[in-house]
């Protein structure tokens, strides 16, 4: 179960490709070009990273951005320390290191993967659809 301190957020399932689904928190009113802005746990980000790594190998790196989770033990509170990177290989030849960015977690520890870039939609029949 995903929980947010903000009551505007609801737990649902989202997809960016119509087939692979991920549990996420969304604010149904928060949209980008009509698409939802999902927030994911670190565990879900790891799954997105695995799926996108396989897509990059299958379809080529120019067709699938990759997500990388680099972990370094735990912090003083016992929470995992992780650095999440997103690399847009399509732009690497043009932008070099600027084609990647660090995805910072929210105060609650959620990550917005593909926010304001990918066409995330709520899976039909789930809250927020």
pLDDT in tens, 1-59: 555 657 789 999 999 988 899 999 999 999 999 999 999 999 999 999 999 999 999 99
Place 107 in a pLDDT band, splitting at 50, 70 and 90: confident
Which one is predicted more confidently, 117 or 1? Answer: 117
- Identify the pLDDT of residue 112: 94
Confirm whether pTM is higher than 0.85: yes
- Asked whether the predicted pLDDT for residue 69 surpasses 70, the reply is yes
Average pLDDT over residues 96-119: 90
How many CB atoms are closer than 10 A to CB 121?
A: 18
Q: Cα(71)–Cα(37) distance, rounded to whole angstroms? A: 25
Eight-class DSSP state of 14: E
Q: Parallel, antiparallel, or unpaired for β 10-15 and 22-26?
A: antiparallel
């Amino acid at each position: 179960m995903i929980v947010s301190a903000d009551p505007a957020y609801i737990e649902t399932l989202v997809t960016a490709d119509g087939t692979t689904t991920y549990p996420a928190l969304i604010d149904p009113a928060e949209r980008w070009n009509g698409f939802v802005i999902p927030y994911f746990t670190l565990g879900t980000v790891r799954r997105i990273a695995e799926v996108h790594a396989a897509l990059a190998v299958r379809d080529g790196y120019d067709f699938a951005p990759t997500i990388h989770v680099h972990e370094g033990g735990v912090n003083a509170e016992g929470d995992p320390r992780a650095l999440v990177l997103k690399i847009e290989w399509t732009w690497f030849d043009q932008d070099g290191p600027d084609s990647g960015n660090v995805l910072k977690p929210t105060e609650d520890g959620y990550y917005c993967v593909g926010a304001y870039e990918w066409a995330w939609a709520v899976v039909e029949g789930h809250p927020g659809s």
